[in-house]
Structure 1
Amino acid sequence: MPTEPAALSSMIMKAVKSGALILALATLGQTAFAAERLYIFTENYPPYNASESGKNFAHNEDDITGICTDMVKAMLARVDYDYVMKMRAWSYAYNWVQGRENHGLFCTARTEEREDLFQWVGPLASIKWTLFAAPDSDIKLDSLEDAKGLKIAGYKGDVMSEYLVSQGFNVVMDVSGDVNPRRLTLGQADLWVTDGLVGPLVAKEEHGITGLKPVLVFRETPMYLAFSTNTDPAIVADLQKALDEARKAGDIEKIVASYE
């Protein structure tokens, strides 16, 4: 049986060891939490996603706004995950996110071709696949097939552009779609494929061009926050629940109304 001082010393050592264990567990917990940081990417695609500076890149969420952006922020506000939000060129972000844990991309059109490439949170908003002509154009289309012999402006990584290419259309693509309204007015392209809201907005804000003619709407697709397949499905489920709650509370409807 230990003496009283020895017993006291033993108790102190146990406390020290216990404290060290608690500290170790706390550190482990912090490491696990840090591992759940989400890395969210988007592109400059007003009015759905837009940089406050008007540039095609941004480094944090305070510099990014737009319909989809505000929906994603409303969703993230309802969960405990830390996150980083950045704006990059679409083709870069689309390739960067795939294969990386806890990486997501919005607003991503959910198509049959992309279904197995991501895990999906949404829907957020919808895009209308629209063919625009120049203000002075006399082009009229009754169906998509009527555009087969025409030159169409698009951009790399865009789901609408890629679809037209896969169907044998003549699509001229660049890294960004911002130059396409000018291509129409300069006669470098007959049509421009983009979303019905995006086209007129980009044309006016980037080039001062008004009066673009929407000659054909040929499809409508829901847009989502798309996470890599390497991301824990539990995280995706948490975010879907948060979005559903935000929609039920009326937050999503208010965001849409604020941009009308």
Structure 2
Amino acid sequence: MIKRLIFLGLLLLSGTSILPVSAQILTIATEHFPPYNYLDDNSKVVGINAELVQRSCEIAAIDCSIQSYPWLRAMSLTLENDYGALFSTLRSADRERQFQWVGPLVKSRAILYRLKSRPEIQVTRLEDAKNYVVGVARGDVYEAYLQQNGFSYGKNLFGFATKAEAANLFVQGKIDLLIGSWQILPMWLAPYNATVDDVEEAFQLRELGDNYLALNLKVPKQMVDQLQQALQKLHESGEYQQILEKYQYAPQHVSAQK
């Protein structure tokens, strides 16, 4: 008994958690990225991927706390927290070894859009887009992709805290190209009295990966596996499809399971 008490005391002094995996709270960060994840009128995180993640937590019997932040802050918190996670995170080659992964969740093709009122904007290849200003979210995977392809701030990139934030200056014609998809544009444009009828595709960007729930490398593998199994159960039960239909999401744009 004395040895056991000494052992427990040493664990407490060392800061090592002695709680079972199921008793640990998984702190999940996300960003404003409708319709996948966003705050409703009651400041609750909702959206297609938000519901998929929340239901996966419930099925796996894991206590999850979901909060919304600007993307760079959300990424930083996840990397700093041993029980941190982040969605909707595009699983790219550059990020592969930074996290453990649960998914795929839902996403759609990334496209460069222009206003219909600006037909002079012509992009037939990525190189052409360098002649215009593209709105990007700081820390986003497409920011890195464009920079790797020769784009730069002060020349043809303009940064925002969130992806949706770029829509304001885009509608005003102050930036030339907006990265988005037909699924997300209606919610992005609505606050600025614009609709998808006001825009058109300029160029389809290269696929960089699927959206996932990214977990800190120190999250126990048992918890990661439980969440992956729970997501699979959502597929098998038909609830996954029901969540998509709730948000009127077009099935043809859904990422295939891997």
Aligned residues: 227
Q: Is 1:229–2:211 an aligned residue pair?
A: no
Equivalent residue for 2:90, pick from 109, 129, 134: 109
1:77 deviates by 1.6
1:255 deviates by 0.8
| C-alpha separation in 1, matches of 2:23 and 2:56 | 20
- Conserved in 1, the CA contact under 8 Å of 2:37 and 2:48? yes
Aligned equivalent of 1:151:
133
Q: Is 1:70–2:51 an aligned residue pair?
A: yes
3-state SS of the aligned residue for 2:109? strand
| C-alpha separation in 1, matches of 2:62 and 2:18 | 12
Match for 1:217: what amino acid?
Q
Choose 1 or 2 for highest CA Rg.
1
- Residues 44-70 of structure 1: CA deviation (Å, up to 9, x unaligned): 11111121128xxx4xxxx11111011
| C-alpha separation in 2, matches of 1:85 and 1:75 | 13
**Structure 1: any 5+ residue segments left out of the alignment?**
1-16
| C-alpha separation in 2, matches of 1:49 and 1:236 | 21
- Residues 191-215 of structure 1: CA deviation (Å, up to 9, x unaligned): 11234422332111x2112212221
- Conserved in 1, the CA contact under 8 Å of 2:30 and 2:88? yes
- Please provide the CA RMSD for this pair: 2.3
**Structure 2: any 5+ residue segments left out of the alignment?**
9-16, 249-258
- Conserved in 2, the CA contact under 8 Å of 1:154 and 1:194? no
Aligned equivalent of 1:3:
none
Aligned equivalent of 1:243:
231
Aligned equivalent of 1:217:
204
| C-alpha separation in 1, matches of 2:35 and 2:182 | 11
Q: Is 1:184–2:170 an aligned residue pair?
A: yes
Written as runs of structure 1 = structure 2, the 5 A alignment for 1:82-93 is: 82-93=63-74
- Conserved in 2, the CA contact under 8 Å of 1:122 and 1:224? yes
1:129 deviates by 1.3
3-state SS of the aligned residue for 2:162? coil
% same residue: 27
> Normalized against structure 2, the TM-score is what?
0.80
Q: Is 1:122–2:103 an aligned residue pair?
A: yes
Aligned equivalent of 1:135:
116
Aligned equivalent of 1:49:
37
Match for 1:182: what amino acid?
N
1:132 deviates by 1.2
Aligned equivalent of 1:39:
27
- Residues 205-260 of structure 1: CA deviation (Å, up to 9, x unaligned): x2112212221222333100000112111111111111111111111111112211
- Conserved in 2, the CA contact under 8 Å of 1:141 and 1:215? yes
Match for 1:161: what amino acid?
E
1:145 deviates by 2.1
Match for 2:46: what amino acid?
T
> Normalized against structure 1, the TM-score is what?
0.80
- Conserved in 1, the CA contact under 8 Å of 2:33 and 2:163? no
| C-alpha separation in 2, matches of 1:86 and 1:212 | 32
Q: Is 1:208–2:223 an aligned residue pair?
A: no
| C-alpha separation in 1, matches of 2:224 and 2:141 | 23
| C-alpha separation in 2, matches of 1:166 and 1:96 | 25
Structure with higher RCO (Cα < 8 A, 6+ apart): 2
- Residues 154-210 of structure 1: CA deviation (Å, up to 9, x unaligned): 121111122112211221102133332232233321111234422332111x21122
